[in-house]
Amino acid sequence: MADLGGAVAAVTGGASGIGASTARLLAEAGARVAIIDRDAERGGEVAGAIDGMFVAADVSEPKEWSRITDEVTTAWGPITLAHLNAGVPTRRYPYSVEEVTDEQYHRIVGVNLGGVLLGVRAVVPSMKSAGGGAIVATASMAGLVAFPADPVYAATKHGVVAFVRSAAPQLGRLGIRINVVCPSATDTPILDDERRADIAPQQPSVATSR
């Protein structure tokens, strides 16, 4: 990885899984890393291990983003890197779409799609002030193909892919690069034991990061 000394990074969903692994790599490359997560215990542990900062926040809430950016920029200066990675499943799957509750719908759309849109909106002013930056959003293979086991999750991830593709041209003119990554099944806390057992025999090389 390139030398990131002087960079200020924000990682949502950074308390575990892909987010925690990303945070560690960014810190190893010299970046100052802020972990954004609802899980204060694990988020604090990750932040402490990399000499970073932990900000307890719900990325689905618009008002939380002002606080996130204020805390990070006050401590370290403009955010120049952002990994918008927080994600949740709809419910235990497979399920019937008629079983999805209003609460489950609003939660998954708010975190998976809103957490990216709101995050981009929040960090762009900071990156503009720094002369540019880079954003990575985590979608999923379920954002590229059908995923019958969790149709609502798939819808949110397709939305993330479409948003990044559509926002890239205008952000590029500001000196801000935005990309989306679409991991296949990854052994993280988003999987319950039953899902993990289903995946393991089919994908012996599943990446593990808890």
- The alpha carbon dihedral of 18, 24, 25, 31 has a sign of positive
The C-alpha R_g of the chain, in whole angstroms, comes to 17
Query: In 3D, which of 148, 158, 112, 80 has the Cα closest to residue 13?
Result: 112
Q: Confirm if 83 and 17 have CB atoms less than 8 A apart.
A: no
SS3 96: coil
Catalytic residue among 93, 95, 105, 153: 153
- The H or E element that residue 163 is part of is helix 151-172
**46: phi then psi, degrees, rounded to nearest 5:** -65, -45
Q: Is 61 exposed, middle or buried (0-12, 13-18, 19+ CB in 10 A)?
A: middle
Active-site residue flag, 153: yes
The two tokens of residue 31 are 């970046």
Catalytic positions are 153
